Every structure is written in structure tokens, then in C-alpha cells.
Amino acid sequence: MQLTKAIPTCEIDFWSDAVILDPYPHYDRLRSLGPAVWLARNEVWALTRYDSVRSALLSPEIFSSASGCMVNEPMNSASQGIMLCSDDPQHLAMRRLFARPLMPKALAELRPRLEALVEHKIDTLLTRDSFDGVAELAHYLPLAIVTELVGLNEEGRRNMLEWAAAIFNAFGPIENARTLEGLEIAQHVIGYVLERLDRASLIPGGWGEALFIAADAGTISEHTARMMLIDYLTPALDTTINATSAALELFAAHPDQWDLLREDPALIPHAINEVVRIESPIRAFSRHVTADVEVGDVRIPAGARVLMLYACANRDPDKFPDPQRFDIHRRPSDHLGFGMGTHVCAGMHLAKLEISVILETMARKVRRIEASNPVRRPHNTLRGLASLDCALVA
């Protein structure tokens, strides 16, 4: 691509450990360069500011998902047929089927069960001097409930979380070691859903079985049903785990905000949005540009690959004043942590329900959250903690 001095350019490696583990100074620099920046080392465009990312997400006819949302061709090709990597009308048809068990009305029936599980878990953790907030609390509902709801057989349930993390790692550039490892596991997962998974082994009434019932009715093909199972590996798994971990760390570091939430539990929905805004679980997805498009003073050519920097946009001071400040009164309902537009996160309502139940229960029982020794995992797509030493004080 012919570049000129007029094009904002940055030499960082977006997928390096240095950028992944301490991203916010790099995000500040990228936003300062403009709404669209050429990442020279990665040979990809990055949309950096809230307005540019939001506008692109609301323009899927230009910023297309149909050629994949990754930055390497093997994974983009292998992902054809999943909902994430499609455009309307195919995307809409799949989403209507996929999202049925994930809508608020359907999830309302799940709430009493979640509440009972969390009540017992928090009571148990209150008796402990310390625990790992990631493994013992953030993982709890996704592994206890979501793996069952999807309805995969024993192999799928046992590996679901590992598979989801590996697939997200495979979104990176092909020369990256995490990408290559993720690609290997992703190929295993695709082989599992297309070849080794016997539909008779699915849990009756699970979300997976519903896909095959739709295939029997002719709504989708069996191949599509099997590929859509991959979409179910991620809703309310990594998003919930990373956001729950971030909430523990943030409320421990800002006890005044925890006091506000305990005094007024009606702030919980806003608190969840603020957690996802300030510590966005998804760093970025990419899009394929279908026609020349101007972003600010930059013309991005057709055929280019563009990163939507959700986490960078969510700390744009032009949109969110004093963006590094954790403030549960902020009410940032239009953050981009769950995406926006046609591809807004289909598992968003389940993620919010799970985190809400945890915070509601803790607000009644926990006076103070203590957290220390955060260990952050380097990951190509996800931002989250690997472990966090925690204690709950009644």
C-alpha cells in the first residue's frame, strides 16, 4: 500500500505482550494521531476514537464481517458459516434463531437458579480468609450454568472455556505464536462440531439441540447448525469472566464506589456498563472494507482490513470525560464494550444477568472487597485476569 506522510502511522505491534499488558498509554497515543491510524508493523488500519468506531459498526455494508473478523486468512476462511463472520441477510436469519434463549424474557426463568447458586457461593467465600477471584467466583456461573445450557456432550463441556479462549487467540496475525497455537485448537474444535459431535449426545432442551431442530425443519442447514455451535462457545463465557474479575478488582480499589452500590443497588446496571467500558473484555475485532471510505481526513481503500479498537474507543475523553476514572454514576449505556449495531454481542443479556446476580448478592452480604496480586494473561483478543487474590469482608 502506498503510504504518505499525511497518513497517521504508528509503529507499535498491537499484538505484542507490551501493548497487551499495558495498553492504555498506547491507546492514548493512537487516539492522538487521529480517528484512523495505519499500524505499519501489522499492516492493518485501526479505528481509535469513539465516533469512528461507532460509525463503522453502524455501517456494516462498508465495514463487512462476511470475510471474517480476524486478521489472518486461515482463520477467516475456517470461520465461514458462523454468525460472527457473516452479514445480513444471512447474519440476521442466524441471529434470530441463535438469540432466542438469550433474550431477557427467556433468561428471566433462569434468574432464581442463578440467585440460589450465587447465594451459596458468596456464603462459602465469606468463611474463607482468601480465594482466587477469577477461578472461584468469576468462572463459577459460566462453568456451572452456561456449559450446561449450550448442551454439548461431555467433551465439549469439559473443554468449552479453553476452546473459546483459543479461538479468540486465533484472531491475531498469522506470525504470532498465540495465533498459531489458537489456530491448531480452532481446527480441532471445527473437527469436533463438524465430524465428531453426535447430535444424539446433546443435552435435551439445550441451545445446541435447538439448532439441529431448526435444521430438521429446514430453517438452516445441518452444516450451519454445527458451525453455529461455535458461536455458542463464547457468549457469557469470557465476557462474563473478564468483566466479573474486573469488577472485583475495581471495587476493591475504589471502596467508595462499592459503598455507593451497596447504598443504592439500582446502580448495578450502570456499574456493569462502567466496568465493561473501563476494562473492555474484547480488545478489538476486525472488518473488511468493501469500498473506499473516508474516516476523518484519511481515505481507507476498498479491500483493507480494519481493526475496531473497542477498548481504545471506550476511553476516548471526547466521549467519556476523565475516562480513566471508575464512576458508577457515569451511566455509559452507549459504550462499545459489547459492540454496537447488527453485531452487538448476542450474549450481552446473559452476561449482564450473571454479573447482576453476583453484585446484588454481594451488595447484601459484603461490606468490603479486598483484592491483591492481579495476574494478567497476555491474549490476542481478550483482556482479563488470570488470577486475583481476594477476600470478602462481611
Q: What phi and psi values does residue 314 have, to the nearest 5 degrees?
A: -75, -10
3-state helix, strand, coil in the chain (%, to 5): 50, 10, 35
Residues of the chain above pLDDT 90, percent: 87
Domains of the chain from N-terminus onward:
9-393 (1.10.630.10)
> Dmax over Cα atoms in the chain, in whole Å?
63
- Per-residue model confidence as pLDDT tens digits over 331-378: 999 999 999 999 999 889 999 999 999 999 999 999 999 999 999 999
Order across the sheet with 9-10: list the strands. 9-10, 36-39, 44-47, 305-308, 285-289, 63-64
C-alpha cell at position 116: 440460589
What pLDDT score was predicted for residue 5? Answer: 52
In the chain, count H helices and then E strands: 19, 11
Position 237 confidence tier, pLDDT thresholds 50, 70, 90: confident
Per DSSP, the three-state class of 371 is strand
Task: Tell me, rounded to whole angstroms, the distance of Cα 232 from its chain centroid.
Answer: 12
Residues of the chain above pLDDT 70, percent: 98
Calpha distance 277→310 (Å, rounded): 9
- Per-residue model confidence as pLDDT tens digits over 124-162: 999 999 999 999 999 999 988 888 899 988 888 889 999
DSSP calls for 32-73: HH-SEEEETTTTEEEE-SHHHHHHHHT-TTTEESTT-SSSSH
What pLDDT score was predicted for residue 238? Answer: 84
266 Cβ contact partners less than 8 Å away, ≥ 6 residues apart: none
Q: Euclidean distance between the first and final Cα of the chain, in Å?
A: 60
